[in-house]
Structure 1
Amino acid sequence: MALTFLFILLFVFLLLGVPVAIALGGASLGYILVAGLPDVLLIHRMIGGIDSFPLLAIPFFILAGHLMNTGGITTKIFAFARSLVGWLPGGLGHVNVGASVIFAGMSGAAVADAGGLGNVEIKAMRDAGYDTDFSVGVTAASSTIGPIIPPSLPLVIYGVMASVSIGELFTAGLIPGLLMAVALMIMVAYYSKVRNYPRDQRMQVSYIFKTFQSAFLPLLTPVIIVGGIASGVFTPTEAAVAAVCYALFLGVCVYRSLTWRHLVRVSIDTIETSAAILMIVASAAVFAWILTANQVATILGENLLGLTSNKHLVLIIMLCIVLVIGLFMETIAAITILVPVLLPIAHQVGIDPVHLGILLILNLMLGLLTPPVGMVLFVLAEVSGVKFERCVRATMPFLVPLIIVLLLVTFFPALALWLPQMLYG
């Protein structure tokens, strides 16, 4: 009875457009009151949900991404990517993907990529005569590489929830992230041939060297983060602090592009974003506790394994569940709710938790590109001045290569597990 009330209340809140954090917290409070539990339990569980040292990485990675954006780092990255692949047919489309791969090693968030690089990329493509729909579509799809290639905010959340090494998750995301980039570049090449898109410029080794020199220090950011974690020099949380220190060093001392006014604005933006994310994590922690206490995972697992015990079929069913939830729920909230439910099932059929984490994030990235939630689409609609509905239509074709990569990583776990096994044994 109380559990049914929980889901009905959550559905009503979401239908009314209530923010996800409040919807989850309000539904959980309703359950607690109906079940006759003390209402102070809500606060205790919320505090417990965010009382975790690894979660400190979230505000620091967000701050590092904001500092890179505000400090003009994105333009240097875009120029370097342009010199590398701009000579290909449909050059700026390839540049779009390449810049996202590079920026992914700094921000860890799709929305940061879309909001930071998106403005630069779409303007450059429009000025060069590319279709607006193509420009928006490839920008939206390439931004989802951000949470796969380390550092990754969703992988930090998953690692905390699943008690899995964040270092292993970070290294596991490298190959799938690069596969996403290759798949999107193949799609760009196809469109370029069909629509006869031009090359951006001729390949010039001198220009590549010049832009590399300009972008060299920013390009060291992912090397510092991933290298430091893999070598054991610092933890993922400490790596986030190192990323902030390095971003400050570049913006204040090297490029002198960050002023006190910039730092104040960046700090305020970081506080707002971090508070929103951690509020979702806290509310979802209560919701997840209720599901665990009512043995929802056990019941779902028994029903699912009653249908089939085949590992691959179980994976397909789980991916379908995640896809549906990703359509209606924000990524962080979906992770915190799904992990307690899906992880026990994964253990029963022998799915590696690191593999599950990569699949979960890859799948939820599709939700960022689809209505009704589609956060990346909302950001790009704002950045590009294109209506949301048109952004949706423009992005749909680019879901195909992303789904292909998801299926490849699903059926060939070594694509995600080989690197962490090599580094961590």
Structure 2
Amino acid sequence: MTIIAGIVLFLSFFILLFFSIPIAISIIISSILTLLLILPFDVTIITAAQRMVTGIDNFTMLAIPLFVLAGILMNNGGIAFRLVNFAKVLVGRMPGSLAHTNIVGNMLFGSISGSSVAAAAAMGRIMTPLQQKQGYRKEYSAAANIASAPAGLLIPPSSMLIVYSLVSGGTSIAALFMAGYIPGILWGTTCMIVAYILAKKEGYSVSEKIGWKDRLFLILDAIPSLFLVIIVIGGIVAGVFTATEGAAIAVLYALILSLIYKSFKLKDIPNILKETVEITGMILLLITASALFSLVMSYTGLPEAISNGILSLTENPILLLLLMNIILLVIGTFMDITPAVLIFTPIFLPIATSVGLDPVHFGIVIAFNLCIGNITPPVGSALFVGASVANVKIESVIRTLVPYFIALIIMLLVITFIPQISLFLPNLFGL
């Protein structure tokens, strides 16, 4: 029965995806079809409905819509512009300096907004026109923006790591948040190295020198925006409040800061809330669908069967990690991050722990893999948004992205096989 259930579940899922059925609907339909193999129709429908409701009946889950709201407030509140100016101060004198500013801006804004798509859109709109004026190729500027957009998904606060915490059985959110810092910074640094090499090759100049008075002003102007991360992450790590309470504080702080900056008015709030509801609705539908998918897998014993199948191939930890990385990289090319985390964590986490991997470290490995998928065709959302903002064709920007892909995969292997990169900060803070 397990083999038949697995064939029905995954075959129906991929067939539906092939016919462009939305991924959440594909998950729900394939899950129900598989449940019908083992349960009567009425029991299947009731069980499916109950599981989808209970799948989001969790206090920690409330952090996701709150962080989404905080990110949208920041995107509309003039915070992105101030972070770009701060990034100019940090990297303004390097070859291809505007691309480096874009990358650092994505790291800063992406971490605060929690969205690679928001980062790619916000930074791309600001930086692309500036880079074109300086004579940068569209493909070069678009590639730097796209490649660096997911860095903020690793640097906390990260909704993706919250989802992993829930599905992995309660892995510490504070530990995951701290574990994401160094890999996220390494992602951005890797992109900067590639951008530097390409800039030297193409002969791009540096930006004009910024005077010390202007530097001081830009730094001071950005401090209130940067202070948000210190408040939220510091409070969570110190145990002052939970991730959900930290998300609520982030919303309040972002609202007050945006009103102080006078970048939007109170009458804009209904549209901001509407956008929050739309994005949250998509995320929560994916989570409810994936909760049903997980139930079906547990009913049929698929995670254990797949784990045993993989372990039967090899028990060598290095080969197992390489195999899981390859599978996750492939999955990331056609599946959104949230459902991928929800579906494949229960399958791969037992394998990872069986060979001695820390659940916190493995969470970062999964996240890094799927972030690469976020900029990879055919489904990479940050790829399409970044290309659209820069007004370039996907096929032309892909050629410039190839060096980024190679460098990021090398960095993925480094993070996979050197656990202390991820675990240094959690261990330092006793998490």
Same fold (TM over 0.5): yes
Matched, 1:392 2:398: yes
- SS of the equivalent of 1:18 reads coil
Matched, 1:216 2:223: yes
Alignment match, 1:405:
411
Counterpart contact for 2:111–2:151, Cα < 8 Å = no
Matched, 1:124 2:130: yes
Matched, 1:12 2:15: yes
Matched, 1:196 2:203: yes
**Residues 52-91 of structure 1, C-alpha deviations (whole Å, 9 max, x = no match):** 1111111111111110111111111111111221111111
**Residues 369-420 of structure 1, C-alpha deviations (whole Å, 9 max, x = no match):** 1111111112123322222333333323211221122111111000000110
Counterparts of 2:6 and 2:326, CA distance in 1: 23
Counterparts of 1:327 and 1:47, CA distance in 2: 29
Counterparts of 1:102 and 1:204, CA distance in 2: 23
- SS of the equivalent of 1:122 reads helix
User: What is the Cα deviation at residue 204 of structure 1?
Assistant: 2.9
In the alignment of these two chains, the number of paired residues is 424
Alignment match, 2:359:
353
Say which is worse superposed, 219-228 or 332-341, in terms of deviation.
Answer: 219-228
Counterpart contact for 1:315–1:410, Cα < 8 Å = yes
Counterparts of 2:274 and 2:374, CA distance in 1: 24
User: What is the Cα deviation at residue 298 of structure 1?
Assistant: 1.5
- SS of the equivalent of 1:129 reads coil
Residue from 324, 328, 334 that aligns with 1:322: 328
Amino acid at match of 2:305: I
Counterparts of 1:240 and 1:55, CA distance in 2: 11
What's the TM-score once normalised by structure 2's chain length? 0.95
Q: Which runs of 5 or more structure 2 residues have no equivalent in the other structure?
A: none
Say which is worse superposed, 307-316 or 266-275, in terms of deviation.
Answer: 307-316
Amino acid at match of 1:115: A
Counterparts of 1:379 and 1:105, CA distance in 2: 18
Residue from 168, 188, 206 that aligns with 1:181: 188
Matched, 1:418 2:424: yes
Counterpart contact for 1:180–1:405, Cα < 8 Å = yes
Counterpart contact for 1:21–1:280, Cα < 8 Å = yes
Counterpart contact for 2:6–2:302, Cα < 8 Å = no
**Residues 81-112 of structure 1, C-alpha deviations (whole Å, 9 max, x = no match):** 11221111111111111111211331112112
Amino acid at match of 1:64: A
Matched, 1:305 2:311: yes
User: What is the Cα deviation at residue 357 of structure 1?
Assistant: 0.3
Percentage identity across paired residues of the two chains: 37
**Residues 86-145 of structure 1, C-alpha deviations (whole Å, 9 max, x = no match):** 111111111111111211331112112112222112222112211100100000011010
Alignment match, 1:234:
241
**Residues 300-358 of structure 1, C-alpha deviations (whole Å, 9 max, x = no match):** 22222222222222111111111111111111010000011111111211111001100
Say which is worse superposed, 25-34 or 266-275, in terms of deviation.
Answer: 25-34
Counterparts of 1:194 and 1:395, CA distance in 2: 15
What's the TM-score once normalised by structure 1's chain length? 0.97
**Residues 184-219 of structure 1, C-alpha deviations (whole Å, 9 max, x = no match):** 111111112111110012253222111112111111
**Alignment RMSD (CA, Å):** 1.4
Alignment match, 2:383:
377
Residue from 250, 255, 258 that aligns with 1:248: 255
Amino acid at match of 2:208: Q
**Residues 149-174 of structure 1, C-alpha deviations (whole Å, 9 max, x = no match):** 00111111001111201110000000
- SS of the equivalent of 2:55 reads helix
Matched, 1:94 2:100: yes
Matched, 1:105 2:105: no
